[in-house]
A and B are shown apart, each in its own frame.
Chain A
Amino acid sequence: MKSLEDLARLREEVRERIKVREGAKAVRITVGMGTCGIAAGARDVMAALLDELAKRGLTDVTVTQTGCAGLCEYEPLVEVARPGQPKVTYSYVTPEKIRQIVAQHVVNGQIIGEWVLAAR
């Protein structure tokens, strides 16, 4: 399998990145992955998010998943916590939107106001 050949190279690459990382990660992204989130498309949002982070080689971002927040009608929900900024919850996130959230908010610190459900 071709993917198995890539694995050895990946091992070195990741080892280097972990060395660079050191200490606490700067940005935490949480994707709602309850039944409601999954039914609304959260899986593909998460896959697009991981793909975008991998492409950009971002090392200081942690991605976690959470269950239902009781706001099912706004799913998929994604929370971005960036040091020095309020925690922002984006609603109705799509794979296209999450790539833009990474570019604008995660990398450059610019909150995309029109997609925000709540900030605290």
Chain B
Amino acid sequence: MQELALHILDLFRNAVEAGARTVHVAVREDRTSDRLQIEVRDDGRGMTPDQVRTACDPFFTTRSTRRVGMGLALLQAAAEQAGGGLGIESTPGGGTRVVATFQLGHLDRAPLGDMAATLEVMAAEAGVQVEYEHWLDGRVFRFSTRELEERLGAEARGDPAVLTWVERHIREGEEALRSPVREYCKGVDAR
């Protein structure tokens, strides 16, 4: 996978398959410590210690359609090639938390990629709430499907116009997060 945003979508799909009702996604970028952390936490059925131990083994899967499960193994490889690693915490009935860390400026770190498209597709999963936060050096952009449902009504969420709005909204938020300098210049011009 060429983008970390695709890995995030893959982790989200694992959470959905595990029966999660709410999935928290946090992206934390810190340029001072040169770290990038991606966390996906769900309230799904969780895994036994044995399942956690084998979760990164590409020849382990809970699925029956084929006998290999590549998702976590691919993310682990992406993290390790960028000076980081992968951690999984899970208990049966207690949900799962996956944390991938990267050296932010590492040459082999995959780009974060298109979070707007990833969150649009996540928001399309009816009945699962998504809580997203993206930190960049102490600034944060947040998005929550629960808040969206409070404003529009739960039945509106699957509407294609609402989902393409989510995509635009995340794109705008992510861009604003990355451009503090431009915001500052605008302020100067206004004076």
Contacts and interface: CB of A to CB of B under 8 A. Distances in A.
A24 interface: no
Contacts, number: 108
A53 B160 contact: yes
Nearest to A34: B13
Interface residues of B, number: 39
B139 to A, nearest CB: 14
A13 interface: yes
A67 B165 contact: no
Contacts of B70: 35-36, 39
B152 A11 contact: yes
Nearest to B126: A64
B156 A50 contact: no
Chain B, interface SS category = helix
B63 A14 contact: no
Contact of A33 (B13, B151, B165, B168): B13
Contacts of A11: 151-152, 156
A47 interface: yes
Interface stretch (B28-36, B46-54, B79-87, B117-125): B117-125
Interface of A: 1-4, 6-7, 10-11, 13-15, 17-18, 33-36, 38-39, 43-44, 46-47, 50-51, 53-54, 57-58, 61-63, 65, 67-70, 72
